[in-house]
Amino acid sequence: MTHYQIERTHGCRVSDAWTYRGLKTAVIENETLRVVVLIDKGADIYQFVHKPTDTDFLWRSPWGVRSPSVRLPTTGSGEGVWLDVYEGGWQTVVPGGGFPTQYKGADMGLHAEVNTVPWDAAITEDTEEEVSMRFWVRAARTPFHFEKRLTLRAGSPVLEIEAAVTNEGEEPVHCVWGEHIALGAPFLSEDCVIDLPGGRVINEEEEGWHPNNKLKAGFEGLWPMSQLKDGTPRDLSKIPPKSFRSYDMSYVTDMPEGWYAVTNKKTGVGFGFRYPKDVFKFLWYWHSFGGGFGYPWYGRTYNVGLEPFSSYGNGGLDGAVKNGTAMLLQPGETVEASQRAVAFTGAAGVSGIAPDGTVTRR
């Protein structure tokens, strides 16, 4: 328990002396942003709020926050164990993204393995001008150490993220690293547009992997154009209404720069993310536009996932190894990534996001 943190009511503020639904929680904020981190559940970013417009960009699952520590799973399913406590929001995914697989004799569940466990955390800077927290974890089934540092500066709409994954093993080990960011209503609506710097779109290759797939399996084309199953063009930059009832997966690669932005043209409010494309070579695009029928969504969900990943495909760590896109970290090797998440206003769209998070509006 923390007893003597500074309790400012202005400027930058940070505290890890909070508990939400039994989970140790941190609140990091300044005049513009409030960021809430569930330390005891993967150090997930649970809220990313633009204060002046009262906009929380992150999607919330129908069941919201549940503590893994007080739940006895009724199945050993590698999907169900993760989904039972998936609150939406933003997860760090290491060392495998996608569906359950096995790797070097270890069972790897959905989006294994660090976002259903408690992390360690420490406040590293606490002034009116700047606040910063460090979060870190060691995986149990693989030899990876992961850490991230979140920083806010006075008046800035940019969350600065410095992150690193290290192989502490004594042999080379494969890894998939992703930032699983899901945006939702009421920010998300058919008034929203997605901007990217360009790239190549690849639809999920498996035919009929979900009853409400609408995109042509395996289609490849230049952003933003894709195709529906019947060959009708589909502009992926435009968010459809929930009545569209689609559930699909696409990937964007060969992007000239690593950034994306989602702008609500009706309100002018938007969310942007900047990341190193040499680490995150694929942008996963999860289309969940009211079409997630059956377990676990039952038609209730309307959200989009725009998730920078090191690797391609929803086939887990083993799948990424087989298709040649998994990272291979040598003993003691560290991979680092500097990221910026930004809230902005007064835009009809975005033509660029600089490495420091500065947004160029259209």
In total, the chain counts a number of residues equal to 362
pTM summary value: 0.97
Task: Tell me whether residue 105 is exposed, middle or buried, using C-beta atoms within 10 angstroms of its C-beta: 0 to 12, 13 to 18, 19 or more.
Answer: exposed
Q: What domains appear along the chain, each with residue ranges and CATH number?
A: 13-361 (2.70.98.10)
Question: Six-digit token pair at 355?
Answer: 């490495």
What residues contact residue 267 under an 8 Å CB cut-off, 6+ apart? Answer: 53, 55, 191
Distance CA 207, CA 245 (A): 18
Q: What is the predicted pLDDT for the residue at 212?
A: 95
Q: How far apart are CA 46 and CA 36, in angstroms?
A: 5
The burial class, CB within 10 Å (0-12 / 13-18 / 19+), for 217 is: middle
Quick one: which of 353, 356, 12, 335 has its CA closest to 160? 356
| Distance (Å, whole) CA 190 – CA 320 | 33
**What is the dihedral angle through the alpha carbons of 201, 205, 206, 210, rounded to the nearest 10 degrees?**
0
What contacts 4, CB < 8 A, 6 or more positions away? none
- Report which of 119, 96, 134, 156 is spatially closest to residue 43, judged by C-alpha positions: 119
Neighbours of 222 (CB within 10 A): 12
CA 180 centroid distance within chain: 2
Q: Of 135, 247, 168, 238, which is closest to residue 196 (Cα–Cα)?
A: 238
| Residue closest to 19 by CA, chosen among 35, 40, 47 | 40
Helix%, strand%, coil% for the chain, nearest 5: 5, 45, 45
Q: What is the DSSP pairing of strand 101-103 with strand 106-108?
A: antiparallel
The pairing of strands 269-274 and 259-264 is: antiparallel
113 contacts 107 by C-beta, under 8 angstroms: no
pLDDT value of position 311: 97
Q: Alpha helix (H) ranges present in 184-296?
A: none
Q: What pLDDT shows up at residue 206?
A: 87
How many whole angstroms separate alpha carbon 131 and alpha carbon 151? 6
pLDDT at 71: 84
Q: How far, in Å, CA of 176 to CA of 93, rounded?
A: 8
User: Any idea of the CA torsion for 21, 23, 24, 25, to the nearest 10 degrees?
Assistant: -60
- What does each of the 362 residues of the chain score in pLDDT, given as a tens digit? 778 888 899 999 999 999 999 999 999 999 999 999 999 999 999 999 999 999 999 999 999 999 999 888 888 888 999 999 999 999 999 999 999 999 999 999 999 899 999 999 999 999 999 999 999 999 999 999 999 999 999 999 999 999 999 999 999 999 999 999 999 999 999 999 999 999 999 999 988 889 999 999 999 999 999 999 999 999 999 999 999 999 999 999 999 999 999 999 999 999 999 999 999 999 999 999 999 999 999 999 999 999 999 999 999 999 999 999 999 999 999 999 999 999 999 999 999 999 999 999 99
* pLDDT value of residue 5: 84
Three-state SS at 355: coil
Distance in angstroms (rounded) separating the CA atoms of residues 84 and 115: 12
Give the span between the Cα atoms of 52 and 80, in whole angstroms: 38
Return the number of other C-beta atoms located less than 10 Å from residue 332's C-beta.
10
